[in-house]
Amino acid sequence: MLSFRQYLTESYRLIENIELAAAHVHDAWVSRDQQKPKEHQNPSLHVSYGDLPEHEKQKDRDHVEMIGHIAKTHGLDPSNKEHHAAIINHFGSAAHEKWRAGWEAEHGVGTPKRKPTPDGKVNINVPWAELHPDWQKDNIDAARAAIAAHTAHMG
């Protein structure tokens, strides 16, 4: 059993590691965002993690914590590259379904959201498995960054 002091030390270490991992996720997002055409970038968030508003920091923490949850729930190891495809799929699906729930709460269940692809406009308000690969890419890239951050900082 941990002493109170040991418990506090472990708690602070965990918080510090989550913050380091979240900063890692944010830096990866900034790098990806800066590669987009200027009209699709969000330059107000091209700042260091410490300068982000709290609600933006929480999004990055959520990504790290989602990797840990997926790993625990599905018996996957983020440090094992052979598990990455499964983790990415779970992460992408969960993140997309969270977005869909918000979209449908605001616009109504089944309301299409059209986005461009080289093939023309597609509806992205569909389940993850049916989502056009061009629109899966953001969540796949976010999952890869969160896996790297989790592996580097959360052990």
Task: Profile the chain (155 residues) by mean pLDDT over runs of 10 residues.
Answer: 80 86 97 94 96 97 97 97 98 97 97 94 97 96 98 92
* pLDDT attached to residue 62: 96
* pLDDT attached to residue 137: 95
Task: For the full predicted model, state whether its pTM sits above 0.85.
Answer: yes
Enumerate the domain spans of the chain.
4-36+55-153
* pLDDT attached to residue 30: 97
Q: At what angle do helices 84-107 and 133-153 cross, to 10 degrees?
A: 120
Do 30 and 45 meet the contact criterion of CB atoms below 8 Å apart?
A: yes
Q: Measured between alpha carbons, how far is 32 from 150 in angstroms, rounded to an integer?
A: 18
* pLDDT attached to residue 42: 96
